Structure 1
């Protein structure tokens, strides 16, 4: 419906709003301040103030010989200029931007040309400019310029009735583009509302209209308030609430009619005429449509709904038998229809070729690329899962092999203990003294600190220590044992190292583990104890220390050892 809305204008790299009133002197403002104030006035339709700022901006840039700002100055000048002058200003922008940021130019030049052609109803040229702008913006990966170009192309799609495609673009950038500013979001939201009404998505349009009116009132933004109010009038015409539509649109007509070049003027008049038709007030509808024709002749800005305007005017004067005016509006219709038909046919043919098809091809490439990426990810995932599965299988078989080894060791230990018990039962025990003497006689006698007599005495004490199972007491140390058998740690340590073949810690640990091996085989009740209790019984401070000592000494685990005992 709203084919004659302004395109989104690319003004600043960074849009900020300033609310201060324009002062008599602009000397205190920087270039950025001046741009901010220009935007503030331009988007609120304050033409005089925006022209004044643009002129001062360009003069300041030339005085300071700032090439980039001169280009910006000419860009500001073209917004409120006639078509011919605006085109000259854009040529100046191009000239002064030749050595500037290639990420911004030349895409910005084509965007400006496209917007100018769009504004003055040269839609064929606008499309060609936008296609070039889009190409350069994509080459330079300028997301902001891509957004502006695609949004303006969406307006052209709207023009030829491709509301669904246009609404997708509007909706995407309204909700997903973080780089857009409030004034731009309002513009996009208004375009989306218009497309939704055309598509009869009235609930969605109503929500957005309420949001826009509320925001405009809050920000005291009169211009956007009346734009949303005119959309509300369009919504009420669609829902046959004609009386309310007329009330709203008359307010908008008063506001917008001050500037016939403002495309919202014709929009308001057209919807107002539709509302009067709904109320069967033909004379009022005719007045609105006659005013539209007058504006079109002055500005040469056309829109597709003009066919409906002239058809109604022709039929009205036919009923009145006013052949003169009937012929006049037939002539007007034919002229406008020719232009509209040329634009429509061109856009209908070129938009799919130059925009829709390339987009579909790019989308196809993206899908293929995405599928290839997913395929690679799938292969990697399969490889990782296969590796994990292999590792799990390997660890499983390794665990099975280790368990088998532990079971074999446990069985051998149990068997050796049974054999030893049998031998002990068959052979009489030797006196302690003779055993100790025999140990000393069989050993070499290198230079030692401990004499044979002392060594003999200490070995006898150690044998008593072993027979009485004193090694099961917790907290036994080399010092405490030496004190109990009335010797010193040096003598005791040497005797254990020399005659037992190990240090005191290993000697004590081996005694405990050997005792555990026998006790576990012989005592079913002992086997049923918790690990912590068994460890405490053997003189260990905790079960972890016992488990580690058992594994280190035997080569198997306590749990496997006990299982094998129970099996036997």
Structure 2
């Protein structure tokens, strides 16, 4: 009765503790619960992770959230035995049947494949991975494709195809692309270390071991710490550092055996190899026999067991122990049969169902890549030809424009030189005065017609202004006086001063802006700005021809000499007035003066 009372007290205490935990979990959302589960599971806190998984599933069912119910089945199956875990995965398949998106059914087959792999049903593991891969490809889900490829790489690693497996592990280790989480990243690194050790790339393996140990100690994961300690021991075994290896491997065996993890068997195998390396066959056989005992309990095999049984058989053969020799021959045959079945299937089906389709896909990708390259090449050539044609057209136009500008410049130069020869005793300004004088006495109608006929640059708007202003009446004496003052303004080259405006010029001529503007428009056939600009440009045209020193000035200096505020304003005014550029004009002057 006392014993029963004690048990009841214990149970009530456990139920109360469990209720407290559940109450605490109610504060967390699904993401936080998943994070807590991972933390407990990775640190081998089985009971705590079980409680979280069960609460997660109950919460999802209560809320009728099918997607989270599916996640609950996944979490809860991790801590169950094979038959129970398989039932949860079957439930996962049912609950996700109508869930849309690319996650399912791919994930279901990946989970089922992993479960079969964990319990050494490698044929079924492969079949499920292949189905998952096909679904992932159909859905074009790169993350799920990656998971399928990684899991198949684990099978290649198991089969001893270390180079093929290492290629996949290395790619996803250094190109995670948000595909792997921290736990998956760690497992990929562990698998790559194993490949490197088996391929005798010990320097690469040791770098990853140190990297993993740093990460494991930071994360305070005992499981990961012992994983990397195991590989450190295995690496030392390969380097024949047997004493160091034994020390490390013994620690990992104690840890993994305490949690019934299959890595304990690999530690036993490596310890036996160490003692064999030290020529201590008795100790080696002791570890190998302990390994066989574990294999009988779990029925989980691995290829190196063949070596183990032949070693034990050979040992008892030398001891002339027929009974034990016969016993381990029988054990060898049973294990070998299973290994043969799995290896035969995997060796046949992996190339047929995975390697060949992968090669065909790579072939198709290469063909498509070549087609794309050709398309890109032809497109590039086409674009290049178009660009060349445009450049050729622009070059032709620029040459044509340059030729036109040269011709204009040459005509201007010849015209100026011809006038200078005819009136060598007169300055350019005097010539202008005479022209103004000649037009001054013409009747208004005659002058108007002369301007319109001989100045093609005048627009209809200017002509209209001339006609309007012609109708306005200004006293004749005022007109003559202003024209006289303008001739004086031109003769003294006062137009070269900076800052000349209609207002300040009218003031200096002792008239008003209205009269001055009208007379310039009427008698000069242009507005004040054009009148001032033409005087300056005409001066520049002549001065550049006759004055070599003036030609040698910088553009900014020439612009300032002519009264412009800056060289840009002068360049634009020069081209607008003459139809050519200043640089071409000067160049043509230099060319004409060479002969």
2:520 alignment counterpart: 496
User: Residue 450 of structure 1 contacts residue 494 of structure 1 at CA under 8 Å; is this kept in 2?
Assistant: no
1:109-136 deviation per Cα after TM superposition (whole angstroms, max 9, x unaligned): 2112211211121111110011001111
2:444 alignment counterpart: 443
1:138-183 deviation per Cα after TM superposition (whole angstroms, max 9, x unaligned): 2223333323222211111012211001011111122211332222
Q: Of the candidates 21, 26, 29, which is equivalent to residue 22 of structure 2?
A: 26
1:489-525 deviation per Cα after TM superposition (whole angstroms, max 9, x unaligned): 2212111111111111211221222222222222222
User: Residue 440 of structure 1 contacts residue 456 of structure 1 at CA under 8 Å; is this kept in 2?
Assistant: no
Q: Does 1:387 pair with 2:383?
A: no
- Over 3 Å counting, the alpha-carbon distance change for 1:199 and 1:22 in structure 2 is farther
User: Residue 42 of structure 2 contacts residue 221 of structure 2 at CA under 8 Å; is this kept in 1?
Assistant: no
Gaps of 5+ in 2: 1-16, 447-469
Q: How does 1:395-406 map to 2 (within 5 A)?
A: 395-406=394-405
- In 1, distance between residues paired with 2:531 and 2:330? 121
Q: How far is 1:249 from its partner?
A: 1.1
1:567 alignment counterpart: 591
- In 1, distance between residues paired with 2:141 and 2:432? 101
Q: Which moved more, 1:32-41 or 1:247-256?
A: 32-41
User: Residue 38 of structure 1 contacts residue 53 of structure 1 at CA under 8 Å; is this kept in 2?
Assistant: yes
1:16 alignment counterpart: none
Q: How far is 1:185 from its partner?
A: 1.8
User: Residue 257 of structure 1 contacts residue 265 of structure 1 at CA under 8 Å; is this kept in 2?
Assistant: yes
1:171-204 deviation per Cα after TM superposition (whole angstroms, max 9, x unaligned): 1122211332222222111111111000000001
- In 1, distance between residues paired with 2:590 and 2:555? 16
Q: Does 1:216 pair with 2:239?
A: no
1:324-345 deviation per Cα after TM superposition (whole angstroms, max 9, x unaligned): 0001111111111111111111
- In 2, distance between residues paired with 1:253 and 1:135? 39
Q: Does 1:535 pair with 2:559?
A: yes
1:3-24 deviation per Cα after TM superposition (whole angstroms, max 9, x unaligned): xxxxxxxxxxxxxxxxxx9884
Q: Could you say which structure has the higher helix fraction?
A: 2
Q: How does 1:73-472 map to 2 (within 5 A)?
A: 73-177=72-176, 178-260=178-260, 262-424=261-423, 436=437, 439-444=440-445, 447-472=471-496
User: Residue 242 of structure 2 contacts residue 278 of structure 2 at CA under 8 Å; is this kept in 1?
Assistant: yes
User: Residue 285 of structure 2 contacts residue 312 of structure 2 at CA under 8 Å; is this kept in 1?
Assistant: yes
Q: How far is 1:247 from its partner?
A: 0.8
Q: How far is 1:297 from its partner?
A: 1.1
Q: How far is 1:273 from its partner?
A: 0.5
- In 2, distance between residues paired with 1:112 and 1:145? 11
User: Residue 73 of structure 2 contacts residue 91 of structure 2 at CA under 8 Å; is this kept in 1?
Assistant: yes
Q: How far is 1:426 from its partner?
A: 9.2
1:476 alignment counterpart: 500
- Over 3 Å counting, the alpha-carbon distance change for 1:430 and 1:217 in structure 2 is closer
- In 2, distance between residues paired with 1:414 and 1:563? 11
Larger RCO (CA under 8 A, 6+ residues apart)? 1
2:465 alignment counterpart: none
- Over 3 Å counting, the alpha-carbon distance change for 1:296 and 1:432 in structure 2 is closer
User: Residue 436 of structure 1 contacts residue 459 of structure 1 at CA under 8 Å; is this kept in 2?
Assistant: no
2:71 alignment counterpart: 72
TM-score, normalization by structure 2? 0.86
Q: Which moved more, 1:193-202 or 1:533-542?
A: 533-542
- Over 3 Å counting, the alpha-carbon distance change for 1:419 and 1:315 in structure 2 is same
TM-score, normalization by structure 1? 0.90
Q: How far is 1:59 from its partner?
A: 4.2
Give the SS at the match of 2:102.
coil
- In 2, distance between residues paired with 1:267 and 1:296? 11
Question: How many residue pairs end up in the alignment?
Answer: 547
- Over 3 Å counting, the alpha-carbon distance change for 1:525 and 1:200 in structure 2 is same
1:209-231 deviation per Cα after TM superposition (whole angstroms, max 9, x unaligned): 12222222232211111111111
Q: Which moved more, 1:55-64 or 1:373-382?
A: 55-64
